[in-house]
């Protein structure tokens, strides 16, 4: 809102400067009055806004993210505050993830995205492929306690193109009012169509689904990626998915699972924990999360190589990487910060006042039962698994 007011003021300023420039002759007394008034407006405008904000007027960057309640949370916690602090506007666009569109823009030399929200495997792979701008960890802000960024970020969240900003989980959820008297309690129950009849929601992707399948088939969490690293392990996961394939409703974006549960389209679904939490708290939905089914992920912003707004994009990345910004995001959606100094700053939900700490996927009682996504494995094997999964879908 402040940024929009500045833009209106600048337009007025430019109009009045034009009035001054048009006086190319000896001005009349009335013209002189206008010139003096214009000069006063110029002085007032320049004193109202610091030089760095004046230079940012009319500049906009395009930030691409995952939409829905997550986008709204980012808008409140990042975008509005960044616009107010810098005067740089945010144009928010939605996408469903992956590197395909970024790769096409970079290869064609026609980059129109500036900053993109990426899960860790894509962030690493995009960096390795030269699709993202390198960002040294020392260029990121210190922690809220003064610790260096290298010491403040949790292990496994730093890349050559920056650091991630949040932890989220993919887990299983159900609608308590539609499930019946016997409630599911394990991942295996998700695959038990006899005990829990009905359709299942899953993302149209091998990510998480292969891990869920192996855990439901009895593979211990600590052995999931060792198993998945073998040909027989991949076949085993796909065979387990075969047992429910005819009952799966495939979803594309993270906004779909809460809606499918609310509509009764599915009995259970995989989902992002923050989307289910927001449906619980903001909409009063009787959804239940199976925390012992969670797979923990991390995601962060990458700057697209070839952006025309590199300086502004770097400023946004710096802003979003602050511990205070991460803690503020956690006031709008149940995603955990990736900085140690941000964790003590987590407080209550901005709208409902509920204590957010127990709802974080990294809360001790929740994290103790989590499978940590092996982003290095997915970065190395993601393309092959996508091909295998597409072939399986087509059978």
Q: What tokens does 86 get?
A: 């810098």
Looking at 4-13, 181-190, 342-351, which range is the least confident one? Answer: 4-13
Alpha carbon of 224 to those of 184, 234, 262, 319: distances in Å?
22, 10, 32, 36
CATH topology of domain 168-298+371-394: D-Maltodextrin-Binding Protein; domain 2 (3.40.190)
Residues 163-199: tens digit of each pLDDT: 999 999 999 999 999 999 999 999 999 999 999 999 9
Question: For 140-154, how does the pLDDT look when each residue is reduced to its tens digit (9 = 90+)?
Answer: 999 999 999 999 999
pLDDT per residue over 270-295, tens digit each? 999 999 999 999 999 999 999 999 99
Q: What is the 3-state secondary structure (H, E, C) of 348-380?
A: ECCCCCCECHHHCCCCHHHHCCCEECCHHHHHH
Higher pLDDT: 70 or 47? It is 70
Q: State the Cα torsion 223-228-230-235 to the nearest 10°.
A: 120
Beta-carbon contacts of 311 under 8 Å, excluding residues fewer than 6 positions away, are none
Distance CA 173, CA 266 (A): 10
Least confident range from 48-62, 89-103, 154-168: namely 48-62
Instruction: Assess contact for 270 and 170: CB atoms under 8 A.
Output: yes
Least confident among 12-21, 55-64, 111-120: 12-21
Q: With contact defined as beta carbons under 8 Å apart, do 45 and 13 qualify?
A: yes
Residue 249: which of 239, 259, 240 has the closest Cα?
Answer: 259
Q: Please check the confidence at residue 2 and state whether its pLDDT lies above 50.
A: no
pTM above 0.85, yes or no: no
Q: Are 320 and 165 a contacting pair, CB within 8 Å?
A: yes
pLDDT, mean of residues 72-85: 96
Give the pairing of strands 115-119 and 60-65. parallel
Average pLDDT over residues 313-331: 98
Residue extents of the structural domains in the chain:
2-54, 60-164+299-362, 168-298+371-394
Q: What is the phi-psi region of residue 25: left when phi exceeds 0, alpha when psi lies from -120 to 50, beta otherwise?
A: beta
Rounded Cα distance, 67 and 262, in Å: 19
Q: Do domains 60-164+299-362 and 168-298+371-394 have the same CATH topology?
A: yes
pLDDT > 90 fraction of the chain, expressed in percent and rounded:
84
Distance CA 205, CA 191 (A): 17
Q: Does pLDDT of 110 surpass 60? A: yes
pLDDT for position 57: 59
**How far does Cα 194 stand from its chain's mean position?**
36
For the chain, what percent of residues have pLDDT higher than 70?
86
What pLDDT shows up at residue 178? 92
- Residue range 26-62, pLDDT digits in tens: 445 544 444 444 444 444 444 544 544 444 557 999 9
Query: Is domain 60-164+299-362 classified as CATH 3.40.190.10?
Result: yes
Which of 10-14, 109-113, 156-160, 208-212 is least confident? 10-14
Residue 39: predicted pLDDT:
44
């Amino acid at each position: 809102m402040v940024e929009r007011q500045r833009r209106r003021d600048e337009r007025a300023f430019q109009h009045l400067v034009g009035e001054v420039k048009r006086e190319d002759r000896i001005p009349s007394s009335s013209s002189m009055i206008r010139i003096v008034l214009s000069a006063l407006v110029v002085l007032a405008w320049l004193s109202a806004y610091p030089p760095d904000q004046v230079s940012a007027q009319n500049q906009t960057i395009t930030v691409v993210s995952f939409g829905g309640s997550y986008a709204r949370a980012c808008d409140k916690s990042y975008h509005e505050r960044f616009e107010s602090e810098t005067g740089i506007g945010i144009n928010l666009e939605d996408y469903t993830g992956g590197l395909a569109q970024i790769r096409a823009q970079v290869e064609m030399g026609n980059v129109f995205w500036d900053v993109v929200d990426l899960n860790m495997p894509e962030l690493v792979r995009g960096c390795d492929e030269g699709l993202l701008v390198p960002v040294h960890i020392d260029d990121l802000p210190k922690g809220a306690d003064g610790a260096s960024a290298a010491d403040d970020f949790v292990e496994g969240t730093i890349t050559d193109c920056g650091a991630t900003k949040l932890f989220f989980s993919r887990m299983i959820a159900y609608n308590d009012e539609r499930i019946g008297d016997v409630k599911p309690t394990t991942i295996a129950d998700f695959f038990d169509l006899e005990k829990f009849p009905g359709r299942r929601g899953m993302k149209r992707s091998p990510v998480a689904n292969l891990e869920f399948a192996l855990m439901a088939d009895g593979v211990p969490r600590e052995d999931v990626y060792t198993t998945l690293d073998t040909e027989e392990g991949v076949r085993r996961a796909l065979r387990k998915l075969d047992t429910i394939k005819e009952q799966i409703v495939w979803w594309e974006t993270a906004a779909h699972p809460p809606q499918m549960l609310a509509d009764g389209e599915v009995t259970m679904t995989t989902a992002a924990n923050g989307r289910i939490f927001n449906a619980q708290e903001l909409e009063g939905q009787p959804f239940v999360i199976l925390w012992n089914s969670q797979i923990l992920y991390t995601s962060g912003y990458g700057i697209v190589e070839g952006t025309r707004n590199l300086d502004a994009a770097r400023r946004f990345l710096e802003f979003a990487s602050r511990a205070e910004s991460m803690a503020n995001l956690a006031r709008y959606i149940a995603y955990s910060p990736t900085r140690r100094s941000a964790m003590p700053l987590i407080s209550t939900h901005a709208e409902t006042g509920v204590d957010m700490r127990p709802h974080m996927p990294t809360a001790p009682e929740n994290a103790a039962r989590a499978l940590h996504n092996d982003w290095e494995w997915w970065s190395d094997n993601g393309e092959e698994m996508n091909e295998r999964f597409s072939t399986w879908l087509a059978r």
